[in-house]
Structure 1
Amino acid sequence: MRGETRTGFAFPWAGAIWFPGPQPMQAVDFSGRSVLRFRTRGDGRAYAVMLFGAGAAATVPPMVPFAAGPEWAVVEIPLESFATADPSIIAGLAFVTPAPLGSFAFELDDVEVR
């Protein structure tokens, strides 16, 4: 993914979102699983994963940072790292560049919840 974040929005960010359910924002029960795992590479900037819940828990999504260096690397993030997240109602995972503003480039592959 290549792009650019600019001023003019209250919460500028850009990236990609993965909906694990059959429809966007339909919750999937990942109880009994404990780790988000994916491969990434990029421009060396800091990025973040946002975890979206469904229903009443769909408030400000918790975020966990990760780095996307020039070589492919495996990133594993324990689900418990997402403060306030409930693994039984995961509706989406967004891989984003929250800051700073400007150009960015990163790639993702093999996204899974284990």
Structure 2
Amino acid sequence: MTPRAPRRLALLGGLALALCSGCASRGDVDRAVADDLRFTGRIMGFALDSNLEALETRLALLEAMQDDPAFPKLTAKLGTIDEVKAKLERVQGAKRTLMEEYGRLQERYGAAEQE
């Protein structure tokens, strides 16, 4: 090791500290992720609830109008009862999966719901 090596290491270490002094800490990043997670989680919840409500309304309308002469036109526009039920089940399954993932991310980033 040359006599200059310790000085170089000290200079490099000082330079690294100077460069990293403005860097974000893990806590800063986790807080930002937690805030974003809360926001996107709410949007996702509203969107999924709205979609489920629309599908339930569509299904109720189709079931109520089965004996109506305009039922074929209605099924052409809204889909059959079986198709709507299948889509409703898919959306409910997707909601469960997304909410489970949302819960895992909340645990990981400490995003406790603050209301």
Shorter-chain TM-score bucket reads under 0.3
Higher strand proportion: 1
Larger Rg: 2
Higher helix proportion: 2
Higher relative contact order (CA 8 A, sep 6+): 1
Q: What's the TM-score, normalizing by structure 2?
A: 0.19
Q: What's the TM-score, normalizing by structure 1?
A: 0.19
